[in-house]
Amino acid sequence: MTASALTHRPRWRNLALLAVLLAPLLWPLQQLADRYYRSELTEQNRQTLDLYVANLLGTLNRYEVLPRILGELPELRSALHNAEVPQVRDRANRLLRQLQQRTGADVIYLMDTAGTTLATSNWDAEDSFIGRNFAFRPYFRQAMEGRLGRFFGLGNTSGKRGYYFGSAVRDGDQILGVLVVKVDLDHTETLWGNTPEQLMVTDAFGVVILTSRADWRFRASRALSAEEREQIAFDQPYTTLEPRDLALNIDAWLIQSRELKETGWSVRILAPIALVERPVRTVVAIGGATLLALLLLLGLLMQRRRHFLDRLALDVQARRELEQRVQERTRDLEALNSRLKVEVLEREQAQQELVRAQDELLQAGKLSALGTMSASISHELNQPLAAIRSYADNAGVLLDQQRNAEARDNLRLISELTARMASIIAHLRAFARRDQHAPERVALQPALDDALALLAKRRQAMGVELVRDLPEATLWVQAGETRLRQILANLLANALDALAERPPVRRIWLRAEQQGKGVLLTLRDNGPGFSAEALRRAREPFFTTKTSAQGLGLGLAICDTLVRALGGELSLANHPDGGAQLGLFLRSAEPGAAFPTEDHLQ
C-alpha cells in the first residue's frame, strides 16, 4: 500500500460520513415540495372551479327570468283562455318554437292549471309534450303556489337531463297556467375536457347530477335517508329510483368545493394526489442528485487543492511581475490623465462660450419677436394716449364750467387708461428682460395671461376664438419666469400662424391639469395640423414650412431647448378631430408667492 493511498483514503471516508449526515435533509425538502405543489394545485383548481361556477350560474341566470317575461305575451294567455280552439293553440306552438330558437332553450312549454301541456316548442317532434301531464313535477307545484319553480331532472319524455324554470301565467290575480323553460346542461360537462382533474356537481340529495366521469353519474355521494328516497321516488329526477353509493377513496383525491345557494347544489373539483406526488418525487430525486454532485465536487476540490498549493508559488512570482508592469502603466496613465484634464478644461471653456452664444441668440429671438409686435403695441398705446388727451381737455372745460362731477369722471377714466398702458408696458418688459438660468417657482396662469396679452391684438384681428379650460387654483411650476413667457408666446404665435391658412371658424383650446409630479399644459388649434415630415423634423433648427419672410424655423427648436433645460418635455402630435396639439409638461413647484425679480423692484 503506497503513501498516497494512505493519505487519500481518510478523505473519501469523510465524504461518505458527510453524505450520511446530510441525507436526512431530504425529508424537509420533501415536505416543503409537497406543501408547495399542493398549494399550487389548490390555487389552480380554485380558479378553474370559479370559472366553471360562473359559467354554470351564468347559464341558469340567463333563463331564470324568461318564464315570467314570456308569461306576459298575449298569445300565450289567449291559448290558456281558448285551449279548445286549434288555431289558437297552433299559433302558441309556433310562437314557443320561435322563442326556443331565439333564446337557445331546450324546450319551452305551456301547461294549464291541471298540469296538462297545451302548447310546446317541440309540438311537431316524436317526443312532443302535447297532452302530457307534469303536475307531479316540483316546478309545477311551486309555480302554482306563486313562486318561481326550480327543478333538475331527467325528462320523462325525452330522457335528457335539464334544469327547469316554471312561472305562473296570470290574468290579474287569477292563475291561468304555468309556463316552463327547460335548459340543457349537457354542454357544461363537455366544457371540462380531458384532464386529470374531475368535475362533480351534486344536488340537495347529494346525488351526482353533472360530472366529467360517466360512471359517477346519478350515484349518491352520501347516505340517503328514508324521506329523501321517498322524495326521489315521487319527483323522479334520475334514471334510477335507488341511487347507488359512490365508492370514492377520499385520501386519493385533493377536493375543493363550492356551494350554490340558488340551486342547493355543490360543485367539486377532485384532483388526483398523484399530481402532487410525481413532482415531489422529482424534487426529492433532484435534491439527492444535487447532494451527490456536491459531494463529488467537494472531493474533486480536495483533490485539486494540492495542485492549487503548487501553483500558488508560481502565482506569487507572476503577481510580482504584474505589479511591476502595473506601476509602469500607472505612470503612463497619470501622464495621459494630465493631458486629458487640460483638454477637459478647454472643452468646458468652449461650452461656456457656446451657452453664452445661445443665450444671446435666444435674447435676439425675443427682441425680433417684439419687433414684429411693435406695430400692434403702438396702436394699443396710441388709443389710450389719444383718449387721455381728449379726457384731459374736456376736464379743463368742465372745471371752467363748474361741472366738477363730470370732470371727476374724466379724471377717473384717465387713471384707468394709464393703468391699461402700464399693464401693456409691463408685459413687454417681462418678455424682453434676460432670464436667470436657475429654475424658480413660477405661476403658470399669470405667465399664460402675459403671453396672450402680447398676441391679443393679432388674435382679435384674425377672429380667433379662445377656449380656456384652466383650474381656478394657481398651478406652480419650476421654470424661468421670462423663459416660460417666451415659450408660451412662441407656441401661441405658431398656432396663430397655422390658423391663418384656414377660413373661419378659427379656434385655440388651452387646457392645464396636474399630472403626476408635474403640470401638463395642452395647446390645440383647428388648423391644418402637422405633416409627417414636420412631426419628424419640427425640433430641428431652421426647419420651417413657412416662407422665409414668415420665419426662420427657430421657434419650436428654441422652445424645445428651453423646455429640456427646465427639466420638462414638449410633445407634438395631431389631434384626432384635426389640427395640431402641443403638450408642455413642466415639473411642479410648491405653492406660494413668486420671488420678486429686478424688474419688479424697479
Domain assignment present for 518: yes
Domain assignment present for 589: yes
Cα–Cα distances in angstroms (integers) from residue 481 to residues 276, 443, 487, 494, in the given order: 68, 8, 10, 20
Domain assignment present for 523: yes
Domain assignment present for 78: yes
- CATH number, domain containing residue 158: 3.30.450.20
Q: Note down the domain range covering 113.
A: 65-184
Cα–Cα distances in angstroms (integers) from residue 120 to residues 98, 110, 117, 586, in the given order: 11, 6, 7, 71
For residue 130, count CB atoms less than 10 angstroms from its CB and return exposed for 0-12, middle for 13-18, buried for 19 or more: middle
* Domain tally, the chain: 2
Determine the average pLDDT of the residues in 5-17: 59
Domain assignment present for 487: yes
CA 112 – CA 178 distance, rounded (Å) = 6
**Considering 152, 184, 216, which residue would you say is the last residue of a domain?**
184
Confidence of residue 498 (pLDDT cuts 50, 70, 90): confident
**Is residue 363 pLDDT above 80, yes or no?**
no
- CATH number, domain containing residue 542: 3.30.565.10
Q: At what angle do helices 481-499 and 404-432 cross, to 10 degrees?
A: 100
**Considering 184, 214, 237, which residue would you say is the last residue of a domain?**
184
**Considering 165, 184, 203, which residue would you say is the last residue of a domain?**
184
- The three-point CA angle 568-593-567 to 5° equals 10
- Give the tens place of pLDDT for each residue, 385-417: 766 877 788 888 888 888 888 888 888 878 876
- Which DSSP symbol is given to 575? -
**In this structure, are residues 553 and 542 in contact, taking their beta carbons and an 8 Å threshold?**
yes
Distance from the Cα of residue 36 to its chain's centroid: 31
Domain assignment present for 579: yes
Helix (H, G, I), strand (E, B) or coil at 64: helix
- Residue 4 has a pLDDT of 47
Domain assignment present for 237: no
Domain assignment present for 407: no
Nearest to 231 by CA among 205, 259, 209: 205
**In this structure, are residues 96 and 119 in contact, taking their beta carbons and an 8 Å threshold?**
yes
- Give the tens place of pLDDT for each residue, 231-267: 887 877 877 778 888 877 777 888 888 888 878 888 8
- Residue 425 has a pLDDT of 67
Cα–Cα distances in angstroms (integers) from residue 99 to residues 2, 73, 108, 282, in the given order: 99, 11, 8, 56
Determine the average pLDDT of the residues in 306-315: 80
